[in-house]
A = this chain, B = another copy of it.
Amino acid sequence: MTNRARVLIDCIDQKGLVYKISKVFFEHDLNIVSNQEFVDKESSHFFMRSVVTGEFCAKTLKEDILNAIGRDAAVKVAEPRKKNIILLATKESHALGDILIRYLDGELDANIVGVIANRDNLKSLVERFNIPFVCISADGLSREEHEELVLKELEKYDFDYMVLAKYMRILTPNFVSKYQGRIINIHHSFLPAFIGANPYKQAYERGVKIIGATAHFVTDDLDEGPIIAQDVIRVNHRYDWRDMQRAGRDVEKIVLSRALKLVLEDRVFVINNKTVVF
């Protein structure tokens, strides 16, 4: 018997969905702690996230919902558990460090199972938090060869999400396809502005007055995946690109941690390269 669960529903819209679902909740004598719905008109998809409490069997609850609204629906009844995450990084410590501090603090509902980096300078930081650190250098390797090694290492871990905490390597479609919808990246620009390399230099060249950062799921298209969270910060003509980079770090880390928290709380649905965030 379960006492608390997140019910996550993604299905084709139809009349009476809220009624049918809330009827199942009612028959299970559940309390609805919070409830949010959304219909994406373009795709005719219905999304719902409910937090329910009571005494119930999660499996039966799920079955009853499927029977009520149709067995094609994607329904999850997620009992509370910490998710496992693995972090990939290169050499910058701000985004990684922000996650580590929150982790130590108990703010993240997650276990960090390890950190993999293509440089070794973060080893000391990570090991201070008693987290396994593996360096897989890319020196002298092709992109494919390096990824092969990383993929092999990844197989050793059991994780729900992979977080690219300023991992400055481009992933191949082969890599991405293995962890579809489970890789979260922080891009150091307000996407879709400044796709690609060195966005701060691009921002400086363009003379923008605001810079930003974007956390998104990784898809095959570089910097084109569904956006989870974004934020910005003001700059002015006194900022050269390194100043922008420094200022941008604060936005990057906050946006990545915010996106990670949303994902860990099962608040993010994906539809057609966009997200619904409850």
Q: Which residues of A are at the interface with B, using a C-beta cutoff of 8 A?
A: 15-16, 18-19, 22-23, 25-26, 29, 31-32, 34-41, 93-94, 97-98, 100-102, 104-105, 107, 125, 128-129, 190-194, 206-210, 212, 226-227, 229-232, 234, 236-238, 240, 246, 249-250, 254, 257-258, 273-277
Complex Cα distance, B100 from A128, in Å, reads 12
Complex Cα distance, B35 from A82, in Å, reads 31
**When the two chains form the complex, which single residue of B22, B234, B250 contacts A22, counting CB atoms closer than 8 Å?**
B22
Interface of chain A, helix or strand or loop or mixed?
mixed
**When the two chains form the complex, which single residue of B230, B237, B275 contacts A210, counting CB atoms closer than 8 Å?**
B230
Verify A15–B19 contact, CB threshold 8 A. no
Verify B232–A209 contact, CB threshold 8 A. no
Verify B208–A230 contact, CB threshold 8 A. yes
17 contacts between A and B (CB under 8 A): A15-B29, A18-B18, A19-B26, A98-B101, A107-B249, A190-B193, A192-B194, A192-B208, A193-B193, A207-B273, A209-B229, A210-B230, A210-B232, A232-B232, A237-B275, A250-B258, A254-B254
**When the two chains form the complex, which single residue of B93, B128, B191, B234 contacts A128, counting CB atoms closer than 8 Å?**
B128
Complex Cα distance, B18 from A32, in Å, reads 9
In the assembled complex, how far is the CB of residue A52 from the closest CB belonging to chain B, in whole angstroms?
11
> Contacts of A276 on B, CB cut-off 8 Å?
237
A230, closest chain B residue (CB): B209
**When the two chains form the complex, which single residue of B35, B249, B254 contacts A18, counting CB atoms closer than 8 Å?**
B35
> Contacts of A209 on B, CB cut-off 8 Å?
227, 229-230, 277
Verify A210–B190 contact, CB threshold 8 A. yes
Verify A25–B35 contact, CB threshold 8 A. no
Known pairs A15-B26, A98-B101, A210-B231. 18 more at Cβ < 8 A? A15-B29, A16-B25, A18-B18, A18-B25, A19-B25, A22-B22, A35-B37, A94-B102, A128-B129, A190-B210, A191-B208, A192-B193, A193-B193, A206-B274, A209-B227, A209-B230, A237-B275, A237-B276
